[in-house]
């Protein structure tokens, strides 16, 4: 077996929450290119179906789109049931779905706080719980969650306390889950991206058109990256190439957190 063979995912099944657009879309594509069948789980069924069809067409793997709200346990459980009905076992879960609300702490509403924490943090728990039960029965798997460098730093100039709290929670949740599920051969890791050009970062640009320049001034690499720059780390963490890693984090941030 060559080293590149260890990155192959042939015959495995991956659920990618938010696999219809942004970082999740590129991760879903990359896992499929490595050979995995892919379940796209997101709220908007039209774009989920379109992404699943494009991935199947371009890679030849089998795909399934399931309309899902990761913040709702019934919805998550129905999605996992549909995935198991279609593919029997699930070897990979990517907790990628996430939102940000740019609002100062002193004026953030309870609803805004809850929406961010429910989708980003509770959603990660609900999906991990439902898929973890399946992985325990089938002999193990790999769970990776897209946290953020916001778990490690204070962002500036935008205000986003709920987001940073949710991402810090994902990092802490991951360490604990890795410890609890090692005995089931389930590895649990995170990817912590820096600023990546998606609808998420476009929200901040809409507030302050000069924000990219402020962000870039803090980076070692003078560039806002694209979702395709995050996806290779997901293939690594999903695959046997990272078999000795659990409870760990890969930071993909152009050197932002170094300063």
Site residues, ligand NDP (CB under 6 A): 17-18, 20-24, 42-44, 47, 68-71, 96-99, 119, 146, 148, 193, 195-196, 198-201
Structure tokens at 166: 């949710």
CB of 144: closest distance to ligand NDP in angstroms? 12
195 catalytic? Reply is no
Other CB atoms within a 10 A radius of the CB of residue 42 amount to 25
CB of 183: closest distance to ligand NDP in angstroms? 28
Positions of E strands within 60-132: 63-67, 92-95
From residue 146, alpha-carbon distances to 53, 183, 193, 203 in Å are 24, 23, 7, 19
The secondary structure element, H or E, covering residue 42 is strand 37-42
CB nearer to ligand NDP: give 4 or 154.
154
CB nearer to ligand NDP: give 59 or 124.
124
CB nearer to ligand NDP: give 59 or 96.
96
Catalytic, out of 156, 163, 195, 244: 163
End-to-end CA distance of the chain: 39
CB of 202: closest distance to ligand NDP in angstroms? 8
Structure tokens at 33: 């290119």
Write phi, then psi, for 118 (nearest 5 degrees). -65, -45
CB-based contact 40:34 (threshold 8 Å):
no
CB of 249: closest distance to ligand NDP in angstroms? 12
**How would DSSP label each residue in 177-195?**
HHHHHGGGTEEEEEEEE--
CB nearer to ligand NDP: give 96 or 158.
96
Q: Please identify every residue annotated as catalytic.
A: 163
């Amino acid at each position: 077996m060559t080293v590149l063979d260890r990155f192959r995912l042939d015959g495995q099944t991956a659920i990618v929450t938010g696999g219809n657009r942004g970082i999740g879309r590129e991760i879903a594509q990359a896992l499929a290119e490595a050979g995995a069948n892919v379940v796209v789980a997101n709220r908007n069924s039209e774009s989920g179906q379109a992404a699943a069809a494009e991935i199947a067409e371009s890679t030849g793997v089998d795909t399934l789109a399931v309309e899902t709200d990761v913040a709702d346990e019934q919805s998550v459980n129905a999605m996992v049931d549909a995935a198991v009905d279609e593919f029997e076992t699930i070897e990979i879960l990517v907790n990628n779905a996430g939102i940000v609300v740019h609002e100062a702490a002193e004026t953030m509403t309870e609803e805004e706080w809850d929406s961010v924490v429910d989708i980003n943090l509770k959603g990660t728990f609900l999906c991990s719980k439902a898929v973890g039960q399946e992985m325990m029965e089938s002999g193990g798997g790999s769970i990776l969650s897209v946290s953020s460098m916001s778990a490690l730093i204070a962002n500036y100039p935008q205000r986003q306390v709920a987001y940073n709290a949710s991402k810090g929670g994902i990092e802490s949740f991951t360490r604990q889950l890795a410890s609890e599920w090692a005995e089931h051969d389930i590895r649990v890791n995170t990817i912590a991206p820096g600023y990546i050009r998606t609808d998420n970062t476009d929200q901040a640009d809409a507030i302050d058109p000069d924000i990219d320049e402020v962000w870039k001034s803090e980076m070692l690499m003078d560039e806002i990256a694209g979702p395709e720059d995050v996806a290779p780390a997901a293939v690594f963490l999903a695959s046997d190439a990272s078999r000795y890693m659990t409870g760990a984090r890969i930071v993909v941030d152009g050197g932002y957190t170094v300063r």
